[in-house]
């Protein structure tokens, strides 16, 4: 599955051995790792999105219930 390829990690390496990158996610562009995915920020963004989704499910349930009672 997928593609194996050598990439340059100079842009995402901080003061740390290269092994520190193992197990982390990175955005790769034209052979260069350009940004390490910030997993905490990803979780925060997903939380907001889930709340919007859940709120909508609740609103739709309330509307359906109102329609049922009105009929």
Partner 1 sequence: MNYADEFRDPVAARGVLAAIARVTDEIGATKEKPVHIMEICGGHTHAIFRYGLDKLTPPGLEFIHGPGCPVCVLPMSRIDECVEIAERPGVIMTTFGDAMRVPGHRKSLIQAKADGADIRMVYSPLDALELARRHPDREVVFFGLGFETTTPSTALTILQAAADNQTNFSVFCNHITVPPPIKALLDDPHMILDGFVGPGHVSMVIGVRPYDFIARDYGKPIVVAGFEPLDLLQSVLMVLEQIRDGRAEVENQYSRVVPDDGNPVSLAACAEVYEPRPSFEWRGLGEIDASGVRIRPAYAAWDAEVKFGVGYGKGPRMVAEPDGCRCGDVMTGRIKPHACPQFGKGCTPEMPLGALMVSSEGACAAYYQYGGLRLEEAL
Site residues, partner 1 (CB under 8 A): 5, 8, 10-13, 25, 27, 29-32, 34-35, 37-39, 41-42, 44-46, 48-57, 59
Residue with smaller CB distance to partner 1, 19 or 40: 40
Closest CA to 26 of 16, 13, 17, 15: 13
CB of 59 vs partner 1, minimal distance in Å? 7
Q: Are 12 and 29 in contact (CB under 8 A)?
A: no
Residues in a beta bridge with 35: 27
CB of 8 vs partner 1, minimal distance in Å? 6
């Amino acid at each position: 599955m997928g593609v194996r390829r050598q990439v340059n990690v100079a842009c995402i390496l901080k003061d740390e051995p290269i092994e520190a990158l193992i197990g982390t996610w990175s955005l790769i562009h034209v052979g260069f790792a350009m940004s390490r995915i910030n997993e905490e920020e990803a979780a925060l963004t997903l939380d907001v999105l889930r709340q919007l989704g859940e709120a909508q499910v609740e609103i739709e349930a309330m509307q359906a219930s109102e329609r049922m009672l009105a009929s």
